[in-house]
Amino acid sequence: MFSYNTELTYFIRILIAGVCGGLIGYERKNRMKEAGIRTHFIVCLSSALIMIVSKYGFQDQVGVLNISIDPSRVAAQVVSGIGFLGAGMIFMRRQSVKGLTTAAGVWATAGVGLAIGSGLYIIGLLSSFIILLGQTFLHSNFSWLSTPKTEELSIKVLNEPDVISKLRNIFDQNDIFILSFKIKNTTEGNCEKQKLITMNLILKVPYSYDTSDFLLLIQDYPFIKCIEF
């Protein structure tokens, strides 16, 4: 049996792990990501708990005949378990993958919990600080690190002469490149139907280009009737 002081020490480890997980989750919540404070808090806290059980929970079996103890066996299952949790946060939206950073953050948070649960306080705390620093610092806009990104959108334009050439010139002026496209003729309106061209495009756009920049095209160019993302 464990003494109260020993169990209090283990409980403090769990609390420290929960605080570290909550801090990491707070940064994710501020960016409106899939996993926030509660998810990271529970992952880090439970990882510390599992590590404590794995490392210290079977000490009464040490020395028992025909029983071998592997302290890492239970803790090792945390990694595979977090893998399933992280996979649920990753999804494909059009041509971009979302949730990878959050999934990696949850996985790293589990590592922090395991470290603190095993008694490596300094390693766990410093790792939490580095994770927070990386999540915050690397979200800054570094022009020298930025690379083009892809956007998939549907544009409806008036079916008038040279409309496709006009649209292409607009893209060229804004350093936007067409990777693939599909075009079809449509009509819109009740009384006087407008003849439109619907273009489904996959574009390579500058890193700094935002959704609002596309919406401004409707204001600047009257022949563009609709843009859908």
> Which of the four pLDDT bands, split at 50, 70 and 90, describes residue 113?
very high
Q: What integer best gives the mean pLDDT of the chain?
A: 81
Cα–Cα distances in angstroms (integers) from residue 102 to residues 28, 66, 160, in the given order? 7, 44, 46
Identity of residue 30: N
Long-range contacts of 224-228 (CB under 8 A, 24+ apart): 224/155, 224/156, 224/157, 224/167, 225/156, 225/157, 225/158, 225/188, 225/194, 225/196, 226/154, 226/155, 226/156, 227/153, 227/154, 227/155, 227/156, 228/153, 228/154, 228/155
pTM: 0.65
Residue range 114-132: average pLDDT?
91
Cα–Cα distances in angstroms (integers) from residue 18 to residues 4, 9, 39, 115, in the given order? 21, 14, 10, 12
For residues 79 and 110, give the distance between their C-alpha atoms in angstroms, rounded to a whole number: 8
- What are the tens digits of pLDDT across the range 141-151? 555 556 777 88
- What are the tens digits of pLDDT across the range 152-180? 888 888 888 888 888 888 888 888 888 88
Whose CA is closest to 134, among 153, 108, 98, 99? Answer: 108
Q: What is the domain partition of the chain in residue ranges? A: 4-137, 149-228
- What are the tens digits of pLDDT across the range 78-95? 878 887 777 777 766 655
Region 149-228: CATH code: 3.30.70.260
